[in-house]
Every structure is written in C-alpha cells, then in structure tokens.
Amino acid sequence: MIRALLLGLSLLLTACATTTPLPSSVPELDLPLSLHVQRDDGATSQDWLLVVQEEADTLRWSLFDPLGVPLARQQLIDGEWHNDGLLPPNAEARQLFAALLFALVPAQQLAHTYPPGEWTAADGQRRLNPDWRIGYRAPLNFTLNRVEGPRYRVTALIPDSDS
C-alpha cells in the first residue's frame, strides 16, 4: 500500500516536473476517435477507454475506466489544457493526452505543428522531448513509452459494422 502511494506520488511529481510539448496549431485528425489504452507500470495493468472529439477549434479528451466512470476530461483550447467538467485536474492524463496527440498527428503534418528540436521520427518510431518514445505497429496501434514512468499500449476501437 505504501509502495503504491509512493509510486503514485513519484509519478505525480514527475508529471509536474516535465511538460510534454503541445502543437502550435490544432492538427487535422480523423475524428472522433475511440481508443483502448492499456497502462502498464510494471506492477499493475489498467484498461481505459479514450474518446477524442473535435468541437470548432477545440479538442475534447475524455478518459473512462472499463465501467464508464470518467477518469479525466480535458479540452485543448488555443494550445492550453482546460478542465472539462467537475473532475479534478489529472497531471498524468494531460501528459498522456499531449503524447497521444503527437502520436496521432500524420507524419506529413509534424513539421507544421511541432517546433523543430522537440521531436524526431524515423523507421516507424517517434520521439517527443523530453521523455516519450512511440513505437508503431500501425497508425492506430502503437506503444507510448515514458523514460521514467508507465508504458501505454494504444489501439483503435472499431465500431461494429452491423450496428
């Protein structure tokens, strides 16, 4: 119990100490997206559902547990995160959302949306400073690795075509 508390505090302090860069403009993405996110910190694994929607010049990010309970809701407005609803701020979710946004940006848009020196991309891999590594299996099937922290496996949730 104490170990889990210390790990959580460590992750919170790490998330506060480093800030994942955001794009200079909202990239063109094929939205809305529903993604399965599996968080693995080496000791535990959690499954989450993430929904990303566009509303005018705003990106709305909603993270849920498997029962549909909201864990984090944020809006990216004019290059800044804003709380959406009554949920408390979630620093880990903001960092995850920023890294996911970078991972979702099509390769041909990267140079127009992120400053040079903040990122690299080669051979199906991307790196976002200060500490994210992205390995792709397909455009919507990738792993986000944080240098000091959890690993996230992301896959698209495909709607049932019979519905």
Residues in CB range of 93: below 8 A, 6 or more apart: 61, 63, 71, 72, 74
3-state secondary structure 103-136: HHCCHHHHHHHCCCCCEEEECCEEEECCCEEEEE
pLDDT at 145: 94
Task: Please tell me the distance from the alpha carbon of residue 35 to that of residue 48, in angstroms, as a whole number.
Answer: 8
State the pLDDT at residue 12: 45
What does the pLDDT look like over 128-162, one tens digit per residue? 998 899 999 998 999 999 988 899 999 999 765 55
CATH T-level fold of 2-156: outer membrane lipoprotein receptor (LolB), chain A (2.50.20)
Contacts of 148 (CB under 8 A, 6+ apart): 14, 131
What pLDDT, on the 0 to 100 scale, is given for residue 124? 86
Let me know: does 76 contact 58? Beta carbons within 8 Å.
yes
Higher pLDDT, 17 or 30: 30
Dist. CA 35–CA 32, nearest whole Å: 10
pTM of the model: 0.84
Output the six-digit token pair for 94.
Answer: 């903001």
Whether 2 shows a pLDDT value over 80: the answer reads no
pLDDT in tens, 67-111: 999 999 999 998 899 998 888 888 999 999 999 999 999 999 999
Please report, for the chain, the start and end positions of each structural domain, with discontinuous segments joined by +. Answer: 2-156
Per-residue model confidence (pLDDT) at position 160: 54
5 pLDDT band (50/70/90 cuts)?
very low
